[in-house]
Chain A
Amino acid sequence: MSDRPIIDIRHAAKSYGPLEVLKDISLQVQKGRIVAIIGPSGSGKSTLLRAINDLDPLSSGEVWLDDIQVNKALPPRQYETHINSVRQNIGMVFQHFNLFPHLTVRDNITLAPKMLKGISKAEADQLAVEQLNKVGLLDRIDYYPSQLSGGQKQRVAIARALAMKPKVMLFDEATSALDPELVEEVNLVMKQLAEEHMTMIIVTHEMGFAQDVCDRVLFMDQGVVVEEGPPEVIFRNPSNERTKNFLRKHLKGQH
């Protein structure tokens, strides 16, 4: 029982009209594990990640979080209640942060906990302080997103997701929109989460980072998982030709 996966994707498939974006993908992630998904642009990485919280519903297949099926077929009303409660357990971090520009950093972090967990204002403030401490931005608590750098915005976005105490964190190219000199501060926060054994699925273009923090790497191309394994194997000794080609392009110029 103890190695039952916390995330279990079974035969996920997704099409947009004739375009098959995901083709029968299965993926299990154990508690505390960190999985990286790499692959060329358009290979379906985001679609797969966004299927996990049903932001992009699958055409077929199942997604399970612990013992709850995320993409359960329910009447619209019931589905809305179901998915909202499921999503509270799945933190998601986007390439473009998606912070709420009309709210301060504090309110960005406390909005959802206040509305969904019925906590008091004092508890919410405490939560904001805690999470901001974690990402090293306590001094920015009363700033608006427009007053932050990209790296700071992403760290706040991570703090906002963590404030819901999720069981899993999903990262969709969290550093791709950042200036190179701001990437490291976000990576550091993610590494720290890794040390705390947060379960994470990380879509990334940074092979060095994937190599450092991940237990397992999936290489996706054209809607299928072409190859997967521990980072040592995928990065040093890939067996598939497509993986080799992709890595040749992407490792060039790194380090």
Chain B
Amino acid sequence: MGLDFSVVPAFAGALFSGALWTIAITLSAAVLSFFGGIVFAVIALYAPLVIRYPFRLFAWLFMGTPLLLQLFLIYFGLIQIGIDLPAFVAGVIGLGLHFAVYNSDIIQAGILAVDKGQYEGARTLGLSRIQTLRKVVVPQAVRSVVPPIGNNMIALLKDSALVSVIGVAELTLSSQMAISRTFRPFEFYVAAAACYYVINLGLEAGLRRIERRIQLAR
């Protein structure tokens, strides 16, 4: 049985819809992981110890256990305690929090690297600690770590395939469904890979654009 890519176009609609879901879940989780990363970084650096220690445990669990397991836990596990999330939402939360923990590490380093003079400049104007953090330190920290955060976002795109296991019909699951109808794994995995590649190009272009836009402002 040779390769025959002519079977693919018949499933173009399904793959396209899968690609849209992949984009939707990646962007939603990226936004969550970005803002979550900022919140986690601020907690890790400045929150009172009673919050900081439990938070460290939480962060350590997210970094030290498989993302797949985390997705199962959020989607299947939480039902037992009465939290029944739609698969998409569970996927966004799982991916988003997982990458928020990684982003948090990077943003913490960014915050610590902000020049001491910036705090002094802000505090002498009369800004409070929190105002200084919010308006001066965090925005600069975030700008300085756009490249590594961008790398995380590309990893997030690739890991979004994992949400296929909880039944989100994104690109990987869509191609598997096509395979189960046609028994043509090679053709459809290659087609899915091509789609991921194109989405990746788009994501990289977006990241480059962000980097260009903040180039002057740092």
Chain A residues at the B interface, C-beta cutoff of 8 Å: 53, 55, 80, 84-88, 90-92, 94, 96, 98-103, 111-112, 115-116, 144, 146-147, 157, 160-161, 164
Contact = CB atoms under 8 A, between A and B. Distances in A.
Contact of B128 (A80, A144, A164): A80
Contact of A84 (B120, B128, B135): B128
13 contacts: A53-B124, A84-B126, A87-B125, A94-B120, A99-B121, A100-B136, A101-B140, A102-B143, A103-B217, A115-B127, A115-B135, A116-B126, A164-B125
B216 interface: yes
Nearest to A103: B217
B218 interface: yes
Given A112-B127, A116-B126, 11 more contacts: A80-B129, A84-B126, A87-B123, A87-B126, A88-B126, A98-B120, A100-B118, A101-B218, A102-B214, A111-B125, A144-B217
B117 interface: yes
A88 B125 contact: yes
B117 A85 contact: no
Contact of A147 (B120, B126, B140, B216): B216
Given A80-B129, A115-B127, A115-B131, A98 B121 contact: yes
A252 to B, nearest CB: 31
Interface residues of B, number: 23
Interface in B95-137: 115, 117-118, 120-129, 131, 135-136
Contacts of B128: 80, 84
Contacts of B117: 94, 96, 98
B167 interface: no
B140 A164 contact: no
A99 B136 CA distance: 10
Contacts of B206: none
Contacts, number: 72
A111 B118 CA distance: 13
B126 A92 contact: no
A203 to B, nearest CB: 15
A87 B132 CA distance: 14
B139 A102 contact: yes
Contacts of A96: 117
Nearest to B134: A115
Contacts of B214: 102
Contacts of B135: 111, 115
Contacts of B127: 84, 111-112, 115-116
Contacts of B129: 80
A70 to B, nearest CB: 12
B124 A102 contact: no
B123 A144 contact: no
B18 to A, nearest CB: 38
Nearest to A104: B217
Nearest to A88: B126
Nearest to A56: B120
Interface in B139-187: 139-140, 143
A100 B218 CA distance: 8
Contacts of A99: 121
Contacts of A146: 216-218
B171 to A, nearest CB: 36
A94 to B, nearest CB: 6
Interface in B70-109: none
A-B pairs, 10 with minimum CB distance: A98-B121, A88-B126, A112-B125, A98-B117, A92-B124, A87-B126, A144-B216, A102-B217, A84-B126, A102-B139
B123 A55 contact: yes
A103 B218 CA distance: 8
A102 B125 contact: no
B146 to A, nearest CB: 12
Contacts of A115: 127, 131, 135
B126 A164 contact: yes
Contacts of B125: 87-88, 111-112, 116, 160-161, 164
B55 to A, nearest CB: 23
Nearest to A163: B125
A102 B131 contact: no
A87 B129 CA distance: 13
A74 to B, nearest CB: 15
